[in-house]
Amino acid sequence: MSREKPVGTVAAVDWSRYETDALRAFDSARDDSALSEANVAYLGRKSALKQALREVRDRHAGVLLNGIRARLEAASRAAAERLAREQASRREDADGFDPTLPGDRIPRGHLHVLTQIRREAEDILVGLGYEIVDSREVETAWHNFDALNQPLNHPSRSPRETFYVDDGRETLLRAHTSTGQIRVMESREPPVYVAVPGRVYRRDTPSPTSTPVFHQVECLAVDRGITLADLKGTMEHFFRELFGPGREFRMRTSFFPFTEPSVEFDVTCFLCDARGCPVCKYSGWIEMGGAGVVDPAVFENVGYDPDEWSGFAWGLGLDRIALLRHGLPDIRMFWENDLRLLRQF
């Protein structure tokens, strides 16, 4: 490009024609390459307009040319938007499907919080060498009471406490997973190391702390020379794994017809860290379940020789653990299946 004959001098161009041609080019551009050609021709670095703008010396020419530039740039942008819209609608028209739109989010489910806790408990026990056993929920009164040494006049045998499924009170919904102890011992010879998780049923009025159906895990060890010390060590390990090292564990003497001696066990309250709160009734401790050394009478009921074998058993409620661990106010919430609650775990 020579200095003597500049192409874009202000006077050398019919600017109104330039603008009309340019606007027509932008409006009629059918695709991106036509638009980019028009951009190069009318707004590019070497276009007559840009060259003339570089040489502007007086105000009149500056106003004229800058006005044209602003209008042409607007027309170019409008053309680009029009082309983008046309392309999008062509895509949809092609098969009614726009692959650039985000897909539907399919919500993913997860395990119920009680199932999660049950599996954690199972994992800990499997790690200790216990076998997880599934036992039946519809049971005989013999497995639920008699074999466990429950006296005939015990109030828990009343139909006000237990769900019988027959009028003769021989068949019932198990009231505890201790029935699993009997089932296992009936069917195999010692040594036995089993854990029986599952649903249990009691005629309790639903309340913030109880429901007629809840979950327990029963643990039974039968071998030679097993003592209360083995029970304590096992439970301490179990609770440390389940709740972390911050919790303490204690045993209190108690009574169950199928264990002797019998204990109930507590862990330090996880809500107040044993300082005292309404949940632990200001004692700092939360009751977790029952345990003991298997009563020789139970061994006799299942045909084990009590002089050769000894064992311990414990049972604990899982719903309670879930409730306390998550600081929930009402155990019935686990049965409502409100997704707003369940999604949090």
Nearer Cβ to ligand PHE (16/227): 227
Near ligand PHE by CB under 6 A: residue from 176, 183, 215, 247: 176
> Least Å distance between CB 262 and ligand PHE?
6
Q: Which stretch binds ligand PHE (CB under 6 A): 27-35, 56-64, 231-239, 313-321?
A: 313-321
For the chain, what is the radius of gyration of the CA atoms? 41
Nearer Cβ to ligand PHE (47/216): 216
* 69 is an interface residue for ligand PHE by CB under 6 A: no
| Residue type at 3 in one-letter notation | R
What distance lies between CA 214 and its chain's CA centroid? 21
Nearer Cβ to ligand PHE (51/178): 178
Per-residue binding string, ligand PHE, 269-308, x by CB under 6 A, is --------------------xxxx----------------
Long-range contacts of 273-281 (CB under 8 A, 24+ apart): 273/246, 274/248, 279/324
> Least Å distance between CB 247 and ligand PHE?
20
* 195 is an interface residue for ligand PHE by CB under 6 A: no
How far is 15 from 66, CA to CA, in rounded Å? 11
**Residue 331 token pair:** 């155990």
Q: By CB neighbour count within 10 A (0-12 exposed, 13-18 middle, 19+ buried), where does 113 fall?
A: buried
Q: Which stretch binds ligand PHE (CB under 6 A): 49-57, 81-89, 159-167, 312-320?
A: 312-320
Q: In the 3-class helix/strand/coil scheme, how is 81-108 assigned residue by residue? A: HHHHHHHHHHHHHHHCCCCCCCCCCCCC
Q: What is the contact surface with ligand PHE in residues (CB under 6 A)? A: 176, 178, 218, 256, 259, 289-292, 313-315
